[in-house]
């Protein structure tokens, strides 16, 4: 059964004063608690939309935390406010990245995970803009710091991105080069990316390019799955794959080789 509780602060200090995160919805594990995953919704959505779906998945060992993004003006909509993990305009490599918003949301996610027991594996997943924030969190984990230089505090064991893209892709490889520790963290972090070939909101090419950029930067434990004809939504075939991949990657009870 899902329940609502107010979230704590973002832990960032950058956007806390300007944007307030919404309600967090938690789905408790039905079996032995082995992993906790923060799942991030897409632009204009809320945490409860995904908690209802995640509650139905056959993953009894996972606790799901589904926060709600702050409501903020979004350039893509001409400044009209809606729930968004960061500000964004067009999806392109030339578009500026909202570093302050990305750092604040990545810090909020890390803050939600930081109180989990030490023996619990931690992950971040999301859809669309939520997937972009999850991938940004993956780069923060590998580099050991947020874009603003503050230390990234949690150890991530799995990243899932559905119909998303990689923010800050232009600078990632340069930031990764020269750090053996970052390379080691990147190579050992399992990432699953799924994208529909018929996505008319975040084009398949953006997902594919993001996977290539991550691989080139040293994220070698990465799987990219294409779903023929799938638009900007999810289907049971995709969620089945996510379940199987998480079970294998996190070593959950009842896992079979994948």
Q: Which residues are catalytic?
A: 128, 199, 232
The gap between the terminal CA atoms of the chain, to the nearest Å, is 29
8 A C-beta contact, residue 132 and residue 165: yes
8 A C-beta contact, residue 136 and residue 167: yes
8 A C-beta contact, residue 41 and residue 22: no
**Rounded Cα–Cα distance for residues 223 and 95 (Å):** 26
**Rounded Cα–Cα distance for residues 91 and 51 (Å):** 27
Helices (H), the chain: 47-54, 99-113, 129-143, 169-176, 180-188, 204-216, 236-249
Distant-in-sequence, close-in-space partners of 162: CB < 8 Å, separation ≥ 6 = 125, 126, 127, 128, 131, 193, 194, 195, 234, 238, 242
Strand pairing category for 158-162 and 121-127: parallel
- For residues 40-67, one letter each, b for 16 or more C-beta atoms within 10 angstroms of the residue's C-beta and e for the rest, the string is bbbbbbbbbebbeebbeeebebbbbbbb
Could you tell me which of 174, 166, 171 has the C-alpha nearest to residue 214? 166
């Amino acid at each position: 059964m899902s329940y609502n509780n107010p979230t704590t602060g973002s832990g960032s200090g950058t956007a806390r004063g300007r944007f307030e995160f919404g309600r967090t919805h938690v789905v408790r594990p039905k079996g032995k608690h082995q992993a906790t995953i923060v799942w991030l919704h897409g632009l204009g959505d809320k945490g409860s939309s995904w908690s209802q779906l995640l509650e139905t998945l056959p993953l009894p060992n996972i606790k799901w935390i589904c926060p709600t993004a702050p409501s903020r003006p979004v350039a893509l909509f001409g400044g009209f406010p809606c729930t968004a993990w960061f500000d964004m305009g067009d999806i392109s490599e030339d578009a500026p990245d909202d570093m302050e918003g990305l750092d604040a949301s990545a810090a909020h996610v890390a803050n939600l995970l930081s109180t989990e027991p030490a023996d619990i594996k931690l992950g971040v997943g999301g859809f669309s803009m939520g997937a972009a924030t999850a991938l940004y969190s993956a780069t923060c984990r590998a580099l050991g710091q947020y874009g603003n230089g503050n230390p990234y505090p949690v150890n991530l064991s799995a990243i899932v991105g559905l119909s998303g893209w990689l923010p800050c892709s232009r600078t990632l490889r340069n930031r990764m080069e020269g750090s053996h520790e970052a390379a080691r963290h990147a190579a050992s972090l399992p990432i699953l990316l799924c994208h529909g070939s018929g996505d008319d909101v975040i084009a398949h090419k953006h997902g594919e390019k993001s996977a290539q950029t991550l691989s080139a930067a040293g994220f070698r434990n990465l799987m990219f799955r294409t779903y023929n004809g799938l638009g900007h939504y999810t289907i049971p075939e995709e969620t089945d794959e996510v379940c199987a991949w998480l079970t294998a990657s996190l070593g959950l009870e009842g896992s079979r080789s994948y």
